[in-house]
Chains A and B, each alone.
Chain A
């Protein structure tokens, strides 16, 4: 409990720093007013809009006003949509979670059997094939894989819908696109983690007791090999919440990633700030979760 509390307190300076960095970055990279008005707008029109958006104040004052409002849970209003930025972000979370969970399931379905197989059949043809495939999977850019999947599975064979959100079918292609890269990383990790465990004494003891190979691999080795895998999974889930930008855009998936891309393009400051804040909280929480799962998997780990 004490550990939990301490971790929570530690997140405050991290969050503060994130708000400052995002606040500054979004302001130095371009003027939202020039992006909101057409080429033909007059100087007066630009000025009055800038004034009404509070952009004429000096930066430190803008930042402290923003922090003051943040404490009360007010992230400000979106320039683009004219509504509360936080509710815009929260509105998108279900779609993003749906995609993140589905991608993680895809990644697990692919990586667990392949990782184990690759370790058990070390240096075999299978092993070579799987590790080679993992390198390929990691190297493929998401947007390319997404477009290729659409071309083959939606346009040519018409098995899955092209884009949008709705049925389970809509979820498949974006989940495969995102899941492939994670699967590649997890496969390699499970393989090396399994290899290490399989060399250890207790495995030899288990074998000498005459236990079946499948029990040794699945029960004894795999559970112990899970610890580093869980870390990566937790971190990847957090990345998935914030990092589905390209995939969501390719598949017109109405999640947080697409909102963030468009808000950055239009310098919709309040939304960018709210979205990055929420993502930061997720990253912190999933790290914490990973710590707690360790403890469950390996009771030897204790927190002071």
Chain B
């Protein structure tokens, strides 16, 4: 019996030793993380890409991968305006017509040449098919008229000042018309073809997507031979992969792991702003206790937003008094980085409003949707209780929360975070027009309403931006939404790389370089 046991132990040891060979042998000892000059870039995302149908998804993390395979007509450079990509030049002919000249000699990965017909096919598909998830962001386009192989016009239904914003985001990659029409969508989805610097190699769902360099690329030669996008849903596993050199870049690092990564030689973290602004949304109708502007101001003053950023987010956020943050058209930078906190004044305001002994209200928040959402709601409730407001916390799972959000069925106050893939104030503020606010905040400020509606169709960029900035000033005082902070993204990177995360959270592989 004893002999057999030893034999078994021996076999077990052999199995384990056998498995440990191969690819893991290149890592020696504990630390530091080995940095190599491999021309393969491995990026770990929290989720897999959803599809190669660029019009039928709305996930930023999928688009972040697509931008390496497809090109937009123009790219949005934030404060530096728009830059030519597939379009060489463009001109706003009249309020609803835009003329574009296309770059010549661009080929798709299958060798087909890019012409204006491809642009027409791509944009009209998403503008006309209302079953596509991105339809809502493109249905402003009436038609694309082909003038020649390299020239076309985009006609919009109404004046569309944010057209270039729309054309430089999710869903704007130009597709190969001939390939899709002759082979069919099924073939395209299995073997997607674009014009980008990297072309499709292999996709194993929920495991990895591999792209290879497109040697025929019209722009600068691709810097990497191969890109691998891995899907690793569990945060701690993603961190472990980074720490062992298994991946070069890991997204969504939990704030609690930042120190551990920074203390390990060979890897580091970078913190960068995102488009998501967390806020409290308040009812402003007369039947609600928050209908009194003094009460809303008191709530704002009672919450120490900076303390929430510092303690719960470990610094991964920036306080703000507007939702339109820098990098967006119409941003009011005077309100950014600002916050109000004065609990004594809050108590006075409550007394002035007729609530010297405080009152009760309900705050609803999602549980598990945003970084530390539950903890934030709990902390807000505690801060409000300091000035005498008793908060009934209602924390619910996201899909249930979302259902009530759509039904506009919240009590006095709810906690939510909005993104903004348009990089324009119009999307950020559109829930505050009188029509759109009905049933949610019931915010009813004629001046703000007029400013927002005028800006929506104003083709004069400077005046338009001013209108939005003015509206933000008034909103910050009226507080139908109390802005808390802009969330930062924390990305873990191997120190062999130079990488600055972008505000739009895209991974342009060629902007990530070896040191």
Contacts and interface: CB of A to CB of B under 8 A. Distances in A.
A235 to B, nearest CB: 25
A35 B402 contact: yes
B182 interface: no
Interface residues of A, number: 62
Interface of B: 1, 4-5, 8, 12, 16, 18-24, 27-30, 47, 50-51, 53, 56, 58, 130-131, 133, 135-136, 189, 204-208, 230-234, 236-237, 240-241, 243-244, 246, 397-400, 402-403, 405-406, 416-421, 427, 430-431
A41 B136 CA distance: 8
A45 B132 CA distance: 10
Given A113-B5, A158-B244, A49 B20 contact: no
7 contacts: A39-B417, A40-B427, A48-B135, A80-B50, A82-B53, A147-B237, A167-B19
A88 B233 CA distance: 19
A151 interface: yes
Contacts of B205: 81, 88, 91-92, 254, 259
A282 interface: no
A213 to B, nearest CB: 8
Looking at chain A's contact residues, the main secondary structure is helix
A39 to B, nearest CB: 5
Interface of A: 29-31, 34-46, 48-49, 52, 80-83, 88, 91-92, 109, 113, 117, 120, 147, 150-151, 154-165, 167-169, 171-172, 213-214, 217, 249-252, 254, 258-259, 262, 267
**5 nearest A-B pairs in the assembled complex, by CB-CB distance:** A30-B399, A254-B207, A34-B402, A52-B131, A254-B206
B388 to A, nearest CB: 31
Contact of B233 (A38, A156, A171, A258): A258
A165 B23 CA distance: 13
A267 B397 CA distance: 13
Contact of A150 (B8, B136, B237, B403): B237
Given A30-B400, A163-B232, A168 B19 contact: yes
A169 B4 CA distance: 26
A39 B240 CA distance: 32
B208 A164 contact: yes
Contacts of B233: 249, 252, 258, 262
Contacts of A163: 232, 234, 237, 240-241, 246
A160 B19 contact: yes
A83 B189 contact: yes
B207 A252 contact: yes
Contact of A34 (B231, B243, B399): B399
A245 to B, nearest CB: 11
B136 A155 contact: no
Contacts of A82: 51, 53, 56, 189
Given A35-B402, A250-B234, A167 B1 contact: no
Contacts, number: 164
Contacts of A38: 58, 419, 421
A36 B58 contact: yes
Contact of A113 (B8, B244, B417): B8
A290 to B, nearest CB: 26
A204 B246 CA distance: 58
Nearest to B417: A39
A45 B134 CA distance: 9
Contacts of B400: 30
A151 B240 contact: yes
A258 to B, nearest CB: 5
Given A250-B234, A252-B231, A254-B207, A162 B240 contact: yes
B23 A48 contact: no
B492 to A, nearest CB: 13
Given A169-B22, A169-B23, A251-B237, A43 B133 contact: no
A113 B402 CA distance: 53
Nearest to B404: A34
Nearest to B239: A155
A214 B24 contact: no
A34 B23 CA distance: 43
Nearest to A165: B207
A35 B399 contact: yes
A252 B419 contact: no
Contacts of B130: 48, 52
A136 to B, nearest CB: 19
A161 B402 contact: no
B307 to A, nearest CB: 26
Contacts of B431: 40
Nearest to B399: A30
Contacts of A162: 237, 240-241, 244, 246
